[in-house]
């Protein structure tokens, strides 16, 4: 299955026994034990004449602290088991309390609390024999109780998998789809499929095995930069890029998979070149989006915006920076 090219908890009362977690309040993305992002330093390799990830992955916390993740791999491995020059796979849940990453040494995929404690090792079958982590992408549900594993193989032959962390249950999705992430309550996965007539079909797959909701969205939706599925399993937040020539900022719309209704566009309060890459809903219906700015070798500025789906008013929930020495970073919810 392919990953998108651009590179959502009161109702989410799932049992996280394998992680020793308890469900948090839906608005509780605050406090010292909430991770904002993970990042890794970049070092110049004189032999290769290029930059590469180096050192250890670091967590940037809500209170400004930084800590290292000692058991996380620095880089991915290829199908032969050799280290690549790409940073390893990483994800942080939208509430900032759960991590998923590949472990140093054996490159097994693991999930654990951001605050520490034992890690839950995911089944070996999520990385089939002969497959490197260089073609694997990770996404966590908003509370981290489920992991979405996507395979960036070409042509697409491997179906994406959803692992329920506490039980190890694996649900597979159609290999021909592009997965876009979990719904706000983690009960559905949003995906798209390019059809033979060059139209795009959008699906909301129910992980309990129920029939999916599907629709053929208009071009402005099909060509958007980022998407997020609401807890109701049918409402999709759609984010489009800004236009620097027209000085128009990125925009947000709401699309209904069942009715086909599309809201008017609402401008985000950011510059035209800012990129809304990581939207997610919380289980109580709050819509958040992470907006990035800052080129390579420049300090990255990350803003977390909360969008009211009804009024489409936007407020800034958080803002932080990541060092210009970074090689890569992953924001919570991304």
Q: Quick one: pLDDT at residue 31? A: 55
Q: Quick one: pLDDT at residue 29? A: 52
| Its pTM surpasses 0.85 | yes
Out of 107-111, 112-116, 145-149, 305-309, least confident range: 305-309
Q: Quick one: pLDDT at residue 45? A: 87
Residue environment code for 155-179, b if the CB has 16+ CB neighbours within 10 A, otherwise e: ebebbbbbbbbbeeeebebeeebbb
Contact 2, 136 (CB under 8 A): no
Q: Quick one: pLDDT at residue 25? A: 36
Length of the chain: 334
- Residue located via tokens 């329920």: 164
Domains of the chain: 35-331 (2.120.10.30)
Return all residues near 91 (Cβ < 8 A) that are at least 6 apart. 99, 100, 101, 138, 139, 140, 147, 330, 334
In this predicted model, what pLDDT tens digit does every residue of 280-305 receive, in sequence order?
Answer: 999 888 999 999 988 888 999 999 99
pLDDT band at residue 153, thresholds of 50, 70 and 90? Answer: confident
In this predicted model, what pLDDT tens digit does every residue of 219-250 receive, in sequence order?
Answer: 999 999 999 999 999 999 999 999 999 999 99
Q: Does the pLDDT of residue 318 top 70, yes or no?
A: yes
In this predicted model, what pLDDT tens digit does every residue of 63-87 receive, in sequence order?
Answer: 999 999 999 999 999 999 999 999 9
Q: Quick one: pLDDT at residue 30? A: 53
In this predicted model, what pLDDT tens digit does every residue of 205-226 receive, in sequence order?
Answer: 999 999 999 999 999 999 999 9
Query: What is the pLDDT averaged over residues 103-128?
Result: 96
pLDDT band at residue 5, thresholds of 50, 70 and 90? Answer: very low
Q: Quick one: pLDDT at residue 23? A: 33
Query: What is the pLDDT averaged over residues 170-179?
Result: 95
Cα 7 to the chain's mean position, in Å? 9
Query: Could you give the CA distance from residue 247 to residue 282 in angstroms, rounded to a whole number?
Result: 31
Q: Does the pLDDT of residue 34 top 80, yes or no?
A: yes
Q: Does the pLDDT of residue 195 top 60, yes or no?
A: yes
């Amino acid at each position: 299955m392919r990953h998108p090219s651009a590179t959502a908890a009161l109702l989410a009362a799932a049992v996280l026994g394998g992680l020793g977690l308890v469900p948090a309040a839906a608005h509780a993305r605050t406090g010292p034990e909430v991770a904002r992002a993970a990042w890794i330093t970049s070092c110049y390799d004189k032999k290769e004449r290029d930059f590469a990830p180096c050192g250890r992955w670091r967590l940037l916390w809500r209170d400004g602290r930084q800590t290292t993740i000692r058991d996380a791999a620095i880089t991915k491995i290829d199908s032969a088991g050799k280290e690549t020059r790409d940073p390893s796979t990483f994800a942080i849940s939208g509430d900032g309390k759960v991590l998923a990453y590949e472990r140093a040494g054996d490159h097994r995929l693991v999930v654990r609390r951001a605050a520490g404690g034992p890690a839950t090792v995911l089944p070996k079958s999520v990385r089939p024999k002969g497959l490197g982590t260089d073609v694997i992408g990770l996404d966590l549900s908003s509370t981290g109780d489920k992991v979405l594993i996507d395979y960036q193989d070409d042509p697409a032959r491997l179906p994406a998998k959803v692992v329920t962390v506490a039980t190890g249950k694996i649900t597979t999705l159609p290999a021909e789809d592009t997965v876009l992430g979990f719904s706000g309550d983690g009960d559905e996965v949003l995906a798209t499929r390019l059809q033979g007539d060059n139209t795009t079909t959008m699906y909301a797959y129910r992980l309990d095995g129920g029939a999916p909701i599907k629709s053929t969205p208009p071009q402005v939706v099909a060509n958007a930069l980022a998407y997020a599925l609401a807890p109701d399993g049918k409402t999709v937040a759609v984010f489009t890029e800004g236009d620097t020539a027209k000085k128009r900022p990125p925009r947000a719309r709401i699309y209904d998979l069942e009715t086909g209704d599309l809201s008017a566009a609402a401008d985000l309060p950011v510059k035209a070149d800012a990129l809304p890459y990581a939207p997610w809903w919380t289980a109580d219906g709050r819509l958040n989006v992470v907006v990035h700015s800052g080129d390579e070798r420049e300090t990255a500025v990350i803003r977390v915006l909360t969008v009211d789906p009804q009024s489409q008013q936007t407020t800034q929930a958080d803002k932080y920076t990541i060092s210009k020495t970074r090689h890569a970073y992953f924001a919570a919810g991304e």
